[in-house]
């Protein structure tokens, strides 16, 4: 039997609730020069809760699987699963306490195994070959906590009526260019102040795409283009293993989604017509699911209303119970709902038909019993309004919902920039806005990245049944982007859709009127964003911080230029 080792990567504190937390680690391939012998070694994870005296609670130690077919990564959902333990009558999962800080230690263990993959080995078979978890107590206590320990705080319990009245804060950002040679340290710098200045004050962080750059120099330059699984794995190991980011990820619950650079610049489904691109996509998504998706919620209906509210209809049953793994998901934090869209892997673009056959969230369902992402998202919006009223509803879209690029207002839909953003997919945008207006869904806030230029945008409606509605889009990008002279200039974005120089009024379906917007607070500085929800004043306070953690001076809606937060007024809830 091997000894315990520190994780090769992680721990990462992932999806957290008021009574559970999903923790992720990966293990190195076992030490052997023979690849076949290495594949014959099974790797397991161990986890234990640290008590106030700094020692492991021996009764909390559990084994869990690290999957060879997923880069020897794995998760343990503390407070919601037992892991690999012997069958003991009466042994049940103990939920975590709300609003409580926890310290846990995680380690890896390898053993000989003749089976090819995890699906061939039952839990009982594995348990018979393992010593009691308690036997690792002394070894666990001697391991250096800097490499094996994660610290996190569970969320507050959501209110019984589904309508929160307490403040809550979170961080968001996107686009961490890896840097080359001596600049790699710069790409890691921002995560230091994100942890030091906000730990204990924010509930979680959102990373909204481009956590890695598989195509460091662009897809048309093959140098440094990841096209093998080992190269994708190296991108994640380099990014998540950098000093500041690794420290950040083991202390603050973090939710992630992908954008194009996890695969290839400006990726759309249509490229899979090419055999080589299908292989590339499979490699990229396998790596994404192993390193990002696996420690997330893994389900789109975590904000479902309590079952006593109503019985589900046959249509709702189809909406609630997908038969396959989905990359979009939702989660709830202290009563505030979040939906994380997959705006990258399901987008389809038909060059023959033009814009009318472009779809950003997958093609609309042909029958309600076979719903897709769009149908589930719209159902989610309606359900949240019905059950939580005007509670703010946060929508993560890696691509910016608004403002639009200037070039998309000048007949440039076919150019690269426009086709990779919401203007190139008007049917999807119209379906969402029609639904919001027709159902009078209040306090929707889009959260975006991608464009390497932070800003705030306010959307309004006129000429339809819900002229009072306002939507916001908050963009935070980039964590690190060393080429501001080549990308992300504020003047490349429309600031006022009613300005005749860049008119960009968006028409909804007949009878629903039009949508216009105004954007302000642009900055190209490397940045991350903190959002404070203020229920007493029914507003969001939006702060942008630079790489050193200093508040960035930006223009406000009234024209004042200062480092004060943007204050976005919402409808009372």
Domain membership flag for residue 3: no
DSSP bridge pairs for 26: 9, 73
DSSP bridge pairs for 332: 337
565 and 510 co-located in one domain? yes
Last residue of a domain, one of 109, 125, 153: 153
Q: What pLDDT was estimated at residue 351?
A: 66
pLDDT per position as a tens digit, 185-209 = 999 999 999 999 999 999 999 999 9
210 and 118 co-located in one domain? no
User: Which residues are within 8 A (CB) of 438 and not within 5 positions of it... i.e. 6 or more apart?
Assistant: 465, 466, 512
146 and 193 co-located in one domain? no
Contact (CB, 8 A) for 205 and 449: no
Q: Which has the closest alpha carbon to 471: 386, 342, 568?
A: 568
142 and 201 co-located in one domain? no
Q: What pLDDT was estimated at residue 87?
A: 66
565 and 492 co-located in one domain? yes
pLDDT per position as a tens digit, 61-92 = 999 999 887 889 999 999 999 888 776 666 78
The answer to whether the predicted template modeling score (pTM) of the entire model surpasses 0.85 is yes
Domain membership flag for residue 98: yes
Last residue of a domain, one of 92, 121, 153: 153
Domain membership flag for residue 1: no
In the predicted structure, residue 252 carries a pLDDT above the cut 90: yes
Domain membership flag for residue 374: yes
468 and 328 co-located in one domain? yes
223 and 372 co-located in one domain? yes
Mean pLDDT of the chain: 90
Q: What pLDDT was estimated at residue 481?
A: 95
Domain membership flag for residue 429: yes
DSSP bridge pairs for 359: 348
User: Which residues are within 8 A (CB) of 62 and not within 5 positions of it... i.e. 6 or more apart?
Assistant: 46, 47, 48, 76, 82, 83, 84, 85, 133
Angle between helices 373-388 and 426-439 (to 10 degrees): 20
CA distance to 195, 226, 242, 249, per residue, from 238 (Å) = 19, 13, 6, 14
473 and 498 co-located in one domain? yes
pLDDT per position as a tens digit, 466-525 = 999 999 999 999 999 999 888 899 999 999 999 999 999 999 999 999 999 999 999 999
- Domain extent at residue 119: 9-153
Q: What pLDDT was estimated at residue 164?
A: 94
In the predicted structure, residue 413 carries a pLDDT above the cut 60: no
Domain membership flag for residue 211: yes
Answer with the residue of higher pLDDT: 402 or 218.
Answer: 402
Domain membership flag for residue 160: no
Report residue 34's pLDDT band, with 50, 70 and 90 as the boundaries. Answer: very low
- Number of Cβ within 10 Å of residue 467's Cβ equals 11
Answer with the residue of higher pLDDT: 324 or 411.
Answer: 324
145 and 173 co-located in one domain? no
Q: What pLDDT was estimated at residue 208?
A: 98
185 and 92 co-located in one domain? no
DSSP bridge pairs for 168: 533
Q: What pLDDT was estimated at residue 299?
A: 85
**If you average pLDDT over each of 237-246, 293-302, 323-332, which comes out highest?**
237-246
216 and 144 co-located in one domain? no
CATH number at residue 530: 3.60.21.70
Last residue of a domain, one of 153, 178, 195: 153
Q: What pLDDT was estimated at residue 302?
A: 83
Instruction: Say how many domains are in the chain.
Output: 2
Domain membership flag for residue 301: yes
Report residue 418's pLDDT band, with 50, 70 and 90 as the boundaries. Answer: low
CA distance 440 to 463: 14
104 and 182 co-located in one domain? no
């Amino acid at each position: 039997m091997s000894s315990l080792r520190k994780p090769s990567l992680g721990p990462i504190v992932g999806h957290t609730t008021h009574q559970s937390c999903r923790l992720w680690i990966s293990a190195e391939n076992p030490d052997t020069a023979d690849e076949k012998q290495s594949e014959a070694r099974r790797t397991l994870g161990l986890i234990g809760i640290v008590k106030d005296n700094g020692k492991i609670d021996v009764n909390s130690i559990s084994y869990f699987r690290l999957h060879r077919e997923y880069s020897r990564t794995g998760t343990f959902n503390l407070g919601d699963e037992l892991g690999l333990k012997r069958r003991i009558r009466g042994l049940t999962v103990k939920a975590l306490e709300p609003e409580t800080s926890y310290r846990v230690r995680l380690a890896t263990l390898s053993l000989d195994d003749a089976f090819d993959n995890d699906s061939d080995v039952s839990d009982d078979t594995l348990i018979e070959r393992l010593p009691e978890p308690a036997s690792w107590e002394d070894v666990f206590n001697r391991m250096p906590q800097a490499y094996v320990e994660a610290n996190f705080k569970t969320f507050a319990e959501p209110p019984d009526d589904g309508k929160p009245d307490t403040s809550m804060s979170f961080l968001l950002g996107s686009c961490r260019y890896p840097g080359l040679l001596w600049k790699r340290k710069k790409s890691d710098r921002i995560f230091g102040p994100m942890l030091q200045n906000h730990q204990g004050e924010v509930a979680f962080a959102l990373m909204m795409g481009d956590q890695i750059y598989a195509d460091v120099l662009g897809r048309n330059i093959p140098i440094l283009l990841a096209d093998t699984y080992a190269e994708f794995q190296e991108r994640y190991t380099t990014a998540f293993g950098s000093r500041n980011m690794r420290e950040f990820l083991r202390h603050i619950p973090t939710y992630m989604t992908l954008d194009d650079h996890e695969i290839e610049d400006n990726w759309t489904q249509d490229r899979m017509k090419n055999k080589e691109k299908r292989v590339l996509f499979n490699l990229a998504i396998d790596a994404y699911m192993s390193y990002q998706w696996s420690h997330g919620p893994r389900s789109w209906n975590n904000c479902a209303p309590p079952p006593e509210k109503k019985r589900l209809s046959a249509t709702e049953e189809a909406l609630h119970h997908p038969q396959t793994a989905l990359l979009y998901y939702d989660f709830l934090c202290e009563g505030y709902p979040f939906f994380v869209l997959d705006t990258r892997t399901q987008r389809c673009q038909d060059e023959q038909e033009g814009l009318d056959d472009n779809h950003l969230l997958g093609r609309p369902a042909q029958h309600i019993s076979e719903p897709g992402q769009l149908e589930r998202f719209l159902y989610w919006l309606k359900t949240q309004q019905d059950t939580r009223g005007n509670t703010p509803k946060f929508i993560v879209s890696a691509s910016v919902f608004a403002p639009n690029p200037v070039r998309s207002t000048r007949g440039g839909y076919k150019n690269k920039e426009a086709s990779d953003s919401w203007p190139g997919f008007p049917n999807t945008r119209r379906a969402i806005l029609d639904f919001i207006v027709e159902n009078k869904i209040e306090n929707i806030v889009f959260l975006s990245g991608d464009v390497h230029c932070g800003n705030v945008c306010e959307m309004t409606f006129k000429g339809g049944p819900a002229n009072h509605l306002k939507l916001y889009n908050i963009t935070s990008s980039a964590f690190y982007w060393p080429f501001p002279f080549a990308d992300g200039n504020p003047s490349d974005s429309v600031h006022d859709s009613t300005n005749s120089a860049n008119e960009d009024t968006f028409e909804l379906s007949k009878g629903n009127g039009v949508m216009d917007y105004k954007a302000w607070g642009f900055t190209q500085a490397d940045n991350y964003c903190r959002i404070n929800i203020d229920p007493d004043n029914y507003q969001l306070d939006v702060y942008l911080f630079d790489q050193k953690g200093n508040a960035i001076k930006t223009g406000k809606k009234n024209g004042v230029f200062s480092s004060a937060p943007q204050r976005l007024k919402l409808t009372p809830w």
